[in-house]
């Protein structure tokens, strides 16, 4: 039986594929294509190593916006039990269909919007998401997945570096904010690598970063996250003000802050994710 790795190696090069389909990246879809297989293979290798895995053979992997299929090919070489690609661009769907003629049923093609896709509708193998995310919807996608993180084994995601910096930002830094709090309460986050603009076609003006998200043993429920989102939205809307001002609409704020171990003179960037969570439980 021919391995997926051998099947992928027999495909035309990505450059030939892009040329054959006249595939120019669409800015409206947040597309920047990664055509260097050495880089896409490295992303998969680093993700597997960080998870102490040798393949994705026990996983149902999802990829968002596969484009011409660079990362898709590298995922397939890792022998996933199933790979579902979610793509809105009909030109890229045709490329995925060409790959599927070689790989068979292991590749599932979904022509649709990832923001509207129900990732919880499928059961079976543990889910992983591996994706070079479209820049324009990366944070909304991540937020949705974090709310249901217990349903995923891991997420391997590429962001603009400035977004990755915000996600991983420590306390008392300008990058620390709402997405830092939510992500760090839900996951262990590892930066796998940074990529310079020249790695992409067309080259964006910014660097990119690949992060690995592994769910913590006791992630928050969707209800808890909703309360936390409301609280952090109020706090970080006025991030330079002390919370006794930005959160003054919360009844009995002084008492609740004392219970949560938070000074009322603290600014949002000085409050840890766990402290925000403790306060959210009281409101």
Q: What is the pLDDT of residues 25-54, one digit of tens each?
A: 555 555 577 878 899 999 999 999 999 999
Q: 109: helix, coil or strand?
A: strand
DSSP for 259-272? HHT--TT--GGGS-
Inter-residue contact 271 to 218 (CB < 8 Å): no
Q: Note the pLDDT tens digit of each residue in 177-189.
A: 999 999 999 999 9
Q: Which residue range forms the structural domain that includes residue 228?
A: 222-280
Answer whether residue 7 shows pLDDT above 60. Answer: yes
Q: Note the pLDDT tens digit of each residue in 243-264.
A: 999 999 999 999 999 999 999 9
**Residues 120, 18 share a domain:** yes
Boundary-marking domain end, from 215, 249, 268: 215
Rounded CA separation 243/234 (Å): 9
**Residues 131, 270 share a domain:** no
Percent of the chain with pLDDT over 70: 95
Neighbours of 120 (CB within 10 A): 10
Inter-residue contact 189 to 141 (CB < 8 Å): no
Total domains present in the chain: 2
Neighbours of 233 (CB within 10 A): 10
Rounded CA separation 181/163 (Å): 13
Cα-based angle 186, 244, 260 (whole degrees, multiple of 5): 45
CATH of the domain at 275: 1.10.8.100
CATH of the domain at 147: 3.40.50.150
Of 226, 204, 64, the C-alpha closest to 134 is 64
Q: Note the pLDDT tens digit of each residue in 79-137.
A: 999 999 999 988 889 999 999 999 999 999 999 999 999 998 888 899 999 999 988 89
**Residues 229, 185 share a domain:** no
**Residues 270, 170 share a domain:** no
**Residues 260, 177 share a domain:** no
């Amino acid at each position: 039986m021919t391995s997926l790795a051998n099947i992928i190696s027999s495909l035309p090069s990505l450059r030939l594929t892009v040329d054959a389909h006249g595939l120019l990246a669409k800015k409206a879809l947040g597309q920047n294509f990664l055509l260097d297989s050495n880089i896409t293979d490295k992303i998969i290798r680093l993700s597997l190593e960080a998870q102490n895995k040798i393949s994705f053979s026990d996983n149902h992997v999802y990829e968002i916006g596969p484009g011409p299929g660079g990362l898709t090919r590298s995922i397939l070489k890792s022998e996933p039990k199933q790979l579902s690609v979610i793509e809105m661009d009909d030109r890229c769907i045709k490329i995925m269909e060409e790959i599927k003629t070689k790989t068979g049923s292991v590749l599932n093609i979904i022509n649709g919007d990832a923001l509207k896709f129900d990732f919880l509708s499928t059961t079976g193998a543990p889910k992983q998401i591996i994706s070079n995310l479209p820049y324009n919807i990366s944070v909304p996608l991540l937020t949705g997945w974090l709310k249901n993180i217990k349903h995923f084994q891991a997420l391997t995601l590429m962001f603009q570096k400035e977004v990755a910096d915000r996600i991983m930002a420590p306390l008392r830094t300008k990058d620390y904010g709402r997405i830092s709090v939510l992500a760090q309460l839900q996951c262990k986050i590892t930066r796998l690598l940074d990529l310079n603009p020249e790695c992409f076609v067309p080259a964006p003006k910014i660097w990119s970063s690949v992060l690995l998200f592994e769910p913590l043993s006791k992630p928050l429920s969707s209800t808890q996250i909703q309360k936390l989102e409301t609280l952090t939205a109020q706090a970080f809307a006025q991030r330079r003000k002390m919370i006794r001002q930005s959160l003054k609409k919360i009844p009995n704020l002084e008492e609740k802050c004392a219970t949560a171990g938070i000074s009322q003179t603290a600014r949002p960037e000085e409050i840890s994710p766990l402290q925000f969570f403790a306060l959210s439980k009281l409101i």
